[in-house]
Amino acid sequence: MEFPETLRRLVTTVQLPGPGEEDYRDLISQIIRDVSRRRHVEVALSQDELDILVRHMRGLTLLEAEKILTKAIIEDGRLTVDDIRHVIDAKKSVVEREGLLEYYPVEATLDSIADLATLKAWLAKRREVVARPEKAEEFGLTFPRGVLLLGVPGCGKSLSAKAVAAEWRLPLLKLDPSNLYNKYIGESERNFKRAMEAAERMAPVVPWIDELEKAFASGGSEDGGVSQRILGSFLSWMQDRNGDVFIVATANDISRLPPEFLRKGRFDEIFFVDLPDQKTRSEIFRIHLSNRGKAAEEFDLTELGAASSGFSGSEIEEVVVSGLYGAFSEGSAVTTEALLAEISQTRPLSVTMSEKVESLRAWARDRAVMAN
Ligand SMILES: Nc1ncnc2c1ncn2[C@@H]1O[C@H](COP(=O)(O)OP(=O)(O)O)[C@@H](O)[C@H]1O
Ligand SMILES: [Mg+2]
């Protein structure tokens, strides 16, 4: 709730714990009972589907949840699997109202991500802990805290954040740093704290801070110390946060990253996402051709992989897209030859910025685990 400036210092805000799963379950029965008095309601949800519905309500206040559910039921007199989608959409708009967080419901699958085998294995090993945190705690294991993903642009760091959500079946809450500072001074810190509180309320959840160095660039003093203060509150929040909250942070440029993040203990692990090797490049071609409805087996994936040495995943995607444009405008089908021609016309970032890529690699060699 927002108070006018004059009232703000007279007011103390108390953060009450959000509703629990039982509260949402009670609410659902209550709404069904209420609506049934006026009209027939058909409930067509299995126990599993009901669990999923309840899980997606996490982080909503009871009032918000009530509005959303009542609307979903009244629309067609039914509570069905389709209403899960309604709840997700409604929640998305509630979360995004403040403008700092973007809500990604669980959706992506790991199949659309080539390689990154070590990272995937690391995640798979913790899946049970995440799924059953109480049992894990009895066993002496705490909820994982977070990972930092470093690497060459376009090699799948943001994609990996989505992989975390897919592997663990938890929603992602993306924090966009560029929105952090575009309000007047003084607001940023408060907005940031609010975003972190929202993340806690939604636990278990994966807050995702993309391009960490942009949010907390080291040495920037021209903003009156705001970014330093936000960095401070973020670090202490990382230390003291409540609830099952796993942070995924990504960075392209370690030289601009405050060293605090790289100290032992901030993250469970620092992963380095390197350029794809030849086999992975072929696989990325296959993924992006199939994504666009092309029969990947009609292409020479081995040759494409071999010819695209030094290309990042996103550059390979670009090649596929440009190839499609070319073919479409000529009224022909896209072929291996056309893609090879696109490849030969591209100078990948790893060539134009080879020194930067090399120094990032050298830095990561002793300090990070290879994600690929
Ligand atoms: N390993 C991969 N498998 C499949 N596609 C990839 C892979 N790496 C990159 N891509 C493609 O490149 C795009 C950009 O990758 P992204 O994860 O945003 O890179 P980064 O965050 O590291 O800069 C992705 O959306 C995806 O289409
Ligand atoms: Mg990215």
| DSSP-assigned states of every residue in 38-51 | HS--EE---HHHHH
pLDDT at 285: 98
Q: What confidence category does residue 28 fall into, taking pLDDT thresholds of 50, 70 and 90?
A: very high
CB-side exposure of 270: number of CA atoms within 13 Å? 18
pLDDT at 22: 92
* Backbone torsion region of residue 327, taken as left when φ is above 0, otherwise alpha when ψ lies between -120 and 50, otherwise beta: alpha
**Closest ligand relative to 112 C-alpha:** 1
Number of Cβ within 10 Å of residue 3's Cβ equals 11
Mean pLDDT over 227-245 rounds to 85
CATH number of 16-97: 1.10.8
| Phi (first) and psi of residue 303, to 5 degrees | -65, -40
Nearest to 150 by CA among 263, 249, 260: 249
- Residue 253 Cα to ligand 2 middle (Å): 12
**Nearest alpha-carbon partner for 284 in 111, 157, 109:** 111
**CATH domain 278-351 topology:** Helicase, Ruva Protein; domain 3 (1.10.8)
Torsion of CA 329, 330, 335, 336, to 10 degrees: -80
Pairing mode of beta strands 101-104, 172-175: antiparallel
The confidence score (pLDDT) of residue 311 equals 97
Per-residue pLDDT band for 242 (boundaries 50, 70, 90) equals confident
Per-residue pLDDT band at 2 (split at 50, 70, 90)? low
Q: pLDDT band for position 108 (50/70/90)?
A: low
CB 56 within 8 A of CB 84: yes
Does residue 195 register a pLDDT over 70?
Answer: yes
The CATH number given to 110-273 is 3.40.50.300
Q: Would you place residue 11 in the very low, low, confident or very high pLDDT band (cuts 50, 70, 90)?
A: low
pLDDT at 276 over 80: yes
Residue 220 has pLDDT above 90, yes or no: no
Distance between CA atoms of residues 253 and 251, nearest Å: 6
Residues whose beta carbon lies within 6 Å of some atom of ligand 1? 113-116, 151, 153-159, 250, 276, 284, 287, 313-314, 317
List all residues 6 or more positions away from 367 whose beta carbon is below 8 Å from its beta carbon. 262, 270
| Residue position matching structure tokens 């409604």 | 90
Query: Would you state the pLDDT for residue 231?
Result: 85
Boundaries of CATH 3.40.50.300 in the chain? 110-273
Residues paired with 248 in a beta bridge: 147, 208
Mean pLDDT of 70-78: 90
- Name residues with Cβ closer than 5 Å to ligand 2, which is an ion: 158
Q: Are 166 and 208 in contact (CB under 8 A)?
A: no
What pLDDT band is residue 206 in, cutting at 50, 70 and 90? Answer: very high
Amino acid at 342: E
Checking if the pLDDT of 99 tops 80, the result is no
Cβ contacts of 314-320, under 8 Å, gap ≥ 24: 314/153, 314/154, 314/155, 315/154, 315/346, 315/348, 315/349, 316/276, 316/281, 316/284, 316/285, 316/288, 317/284, 317/288, 318/346, 319/343, 319/346, 320/285, 320/288, 320/289, 320/292
- The pLDDT confidence band at residue 162, using thresholds 50, 70 and 90, is confident
Torsion sign over Cα 137, 141, 145, 150: negative
Instruction: Read off the pTM.
Output: 0.83
Contact call for residues 273 and 150 (beta carbons, < 8 A): yes
Ligand 1 pocket, mutate which of 158, 159, 254 (most atoms under 8 A from CB): 159
Q: Please determine, for residue 222, whether its predicted confidence score (pLDDT) is greater than 90.
A: no
Residue 254, pLDDT score: 85
The protein residue whose alpha carbon is closest to atom 1 in ligand 1 is 114
- Give the mean pLDDT of the chain: 87
Instruction: Evaluate whether 323 touches 360 at the Cβ level (below 8 Å).
Output: no
